[in-house]
Amino acid sequence: MSGQSFLFQAFIYLTAAVIAVPIAKRLGLGSVLGYLLAGVAIGPHVLGLIGIEGRDVMHFAEFGVVMMLFVVGLELEPSLLWRLRRPILGMGGLQVLLTTGAVSAIGLALRLPWQSALAVGMVLTMSSTAIVLQTLNEKALLKTAGGQSSFAVLLFQDIAVIPMLAVFPMLATGRAIPGQAGVPAESVLATLPGWAQTLAVLGAVTFVVVGGRYLIRPVFRAIAKARAREAFTAAALLLVIGVALLMTSVGLSPALGAFLAGVMLATSEYRHELVSDIEPFKGLLLGLFFIAVGAAIDFRLVAGHPALVGGLVLAVIAVKAAVLFGLARGFGLDADQSLLFALGLPQVGEFAFVLLSFAGQEGVLGASITSPLVAVVAISMAVTPLLFLLNERLLQPRFGTRGQEARDADAIEEQAPVLVAGYGAFGSTVGRLLRANGVLVTVLDLDADRVDLLRDMGQKVHYGDASRLDLLHAAGAGQARLLILGLDSPEKTLELVQTARKHFPNLTILARAFDWNDSFDLLDAGVPNVYRDTLDTALRTGTDALRLLGFRAHQAHRAAQKFLKHDEESMRHLSGHRRDRGQYISAARQRIEDLEQMLLADLQEPGMDRDKGWDPESLVEEYKNR
């Protein structure tokens, strides 16, 4: 990397991101625009901190797109994908056909040879999965009708890249430049006959589908059992990279393969954990990718031909948006959703860079066409966040309701009102009681064997460490009403309480405690609903002991009831005292002191077991004295 050390490069990129993204978000511009602007700033034409090696970085960072599609796949169950088949094939197919047609026609009108016109059409029909999905996700628009349609079209475009790459060599008008390998058509299978290639492709897809269903889960289970977090993260990364390699080797889009693998794992118990493991890598790589795009804008060219480049950008966006809007209305989307769809997708996507360089190598397009097009693509991407803003600030307010609302009820229906963290004997008893009464429960547990068993029995259980904020988010803590903590460790419980209280203040917490100390800690942390693990069991044992000693059953029962109430009151009372006394004595000394206080409180209430109403003593006295 041009003499500069790797660490220095990383320093530059990270600094740019750390400065630009928070500012962009604070200004309401979204993180994507922040990254792009950061890229422009450190790029060769402004500060010059990075040079042309930005291109290499971009290729590297494209892997972020692969990861993003994996994560998207994880959130898309196969049944949902099947329901989307009409928009994917219909809208996606028509978008590719119509846009390619329209752009090619314009190209022909500008007297390009038909081969070049068609190639340009295919390049420009692509939209940016990275920018659109990231932005829709950030604005929580992915679940709206417009968002779903955008997703469907992007997915189809991903598939369409494959035949395009196959068609490109046939469009060559000039001489092919023997370029470097690395594009799918040059895969290891290129030497095989056509039928064998087809077979290999089908084999690879089948392998991902079947493997995702039957092979991955036992592997992850074994890794999870080892309880080494980084091993799990490594396995998740390995999975994505492996699938990407496999797909590239048979000439398929790695993003598509990762997406497929994600879908196959969408119903697995490791879904939440995988999402939270991949998420940071995905985010960083995408950020890097956007920075690289920003840095790649050739400002000299733009400055040289401002009218040409600006006109092309406008024309591309106008043509694409017009096609998209027409399609959306044709497929029955409301006007507001159609606008979201049309203004979300009119940029040219990252695949265009791949296609353009490929077209250059194959002699389909000359440098006089590809150079301005690269600038057009980059600028159109940079403009996207602005189009989203335009749509959001100026256009959407004109519509009474947003499409989001119609789908919300759906989401809430699926959302369980209760999260149970820790599904051992304690948590599972609580969960079973709730389920038996028709209450939906989302379970988080860290014991792979247990998760497995429960899933075999048809329960929805997720594997993961519940004290992690991202996992809580993924499990729906933002929408749930109760969080029940049945964890085995008081430290972990307290940690989770602090996270949950800070980030989900509306969530009511019910926590399992082990002894007074834990209870005090939990009360201090602001959790009034504290349940000591052994209390009820001990009282039931005591009740039976009383009965065996000859107490009537009801009397023993009443005694335990009263004792429970008294004990809870003493605990809460002591908790306040302890806070007043300060924390200067040791925990062991503290426990003794607490016990002493508790025993004293018992002595002070000798009438604990009296039910005066059932006791004729005073009545008898009065009768005698009459």
Partner 1 sequence: MPSILIVFTHPALEKSRVHRRLLRSPPELPGLTVNDLYENYPDYDVDVRREQELLLAHDVIVHQHPFYWYSVPPLLKQWQDLVLEHGWAYGSRGTALRGKRTLHVISTGGSAAAYQPQGDNRFTVRALLAPWEQTARLCGMEFLPPFVIHGTHGLTDPELESAADRYREFLVGLHDGSLRLKPDALYAEAPDGPDKQSSEDVQP
Single out the residue of 332, 400, 606, 613 in contact with partner 1 (rule: CB under 8 A): 613
Q: What span, in angstroms and rounded, lies between the C-alpha atoms of 417 and 423?
A: 16
Q: Is 358 helix (H, G, I), strand (E, B) or coil?
A: helix
Single out the residue of 561, 576, 585, 599 in contact with partner 1 (rule: CB under 8 A): 561
Q: Which residues pair with 513 in a beta bridge?
A: 532
Residue 618 engages partner 1 in binding (rule: CB under 8 A): yes
Q: Using the rule CB under 8 A, give the single segment among 62-70, 438-446, 506-514, 610-618 that binds partner 1.
A: 610-618
Residue 611 engages partner 1 in binding (rule: CB under 8 A): yes
Helix then strand then coil, in percent of the chain rounded to 5, is 75, 5, 25
Count of residues binding partner 1 (CB under 8 A)?
11
Q: Using the rule CB under 8 A, give the single segment among 180-188, 205-213, 567-575, 618-626 that binds partner 1.
A: 618-626
Residue 624 engages partner 1 in binding (rule: CB under 8 A): no
Q: What span, in angstroms and rounded, lies between the C-alpha atoms of 229 and 492?
A: 16
Residues 309-328 that bind partner 1 (CB under 8 A): none
Residue 221 engages partner 1 in binding (rule: CB under 8 A): no
DSSP state of 139: T
Task: Quote the least distance from Cβ 84 to partner 1, whole Å.
Answer: 41
Residue 15 engages partner 1 in binding (rule: CB under 8 A): no
Q: Using the rule CB under 8 A, give the single segment among 28-36, 200-208, 273-281, 560-568 that binds partner 1.
A: 560-568
Task: Quote the least distance from Cβ 622 to partner 1, whole Å.
Answer: 6
Residue 569 engages partner 1 in binding (rule: CB under 8 A): no
- Compare residues 126 and 571 and give the one whose CB is closer to partner 1: 571
- Label each residue of 280-336 as H, E or C: HHHHHHHHHHHHHHHHHCCHHHHHHCHHHHHHHHHHHHHHHHHHHHHHHHHCCCCHH
| Residue whose tokens read 């797109």 | 65
- Residue 197 CB neighbours (<10 A): 16
Residue 619 engages partner 1 in binding (rule: CB under 8 A): yes
The answer to whether 57 touches 294, Cβ cutoff 8 Å, is: no
- Residue 284 CB neighbours (<10 A): 16
- Compare residues 473 and 558 and give the one whose CB is closer to partner 1: 558
Single out the residue of 547, 562, 566, 572 in contact with partner 1 (rule: CB under 8 A): 562
Q: Could you report how far apart the first and last alpha carbons of the chain are, in Å?
A: 108
Smallest CA-to-CA distance from 176 within 167, 185, 168 is with: 168
DSSP string, 518-564: HHHHHHHTT--EEEETTHHHHHHHHHHHHHHTT--HHHHHHHHHHHH
Residue 622 engages partner 1 in binding (rule: CB under 8 A): yes
Q: Using the rule CB under 8 A, give the single segment among 206-214, 327-335, 441-449, 617-625 that binds partner 1.
A: 617-625
Residue 607 engages partner 1 in binding (rule: CB under 8 A): no
- Compare residues 334 and 609 and give the one whose CB is closer to partner 1: 609
Binding stretches for partner 1 (CB under 8 A): 558, 561-562, 565, 611-614, 618-619, 622
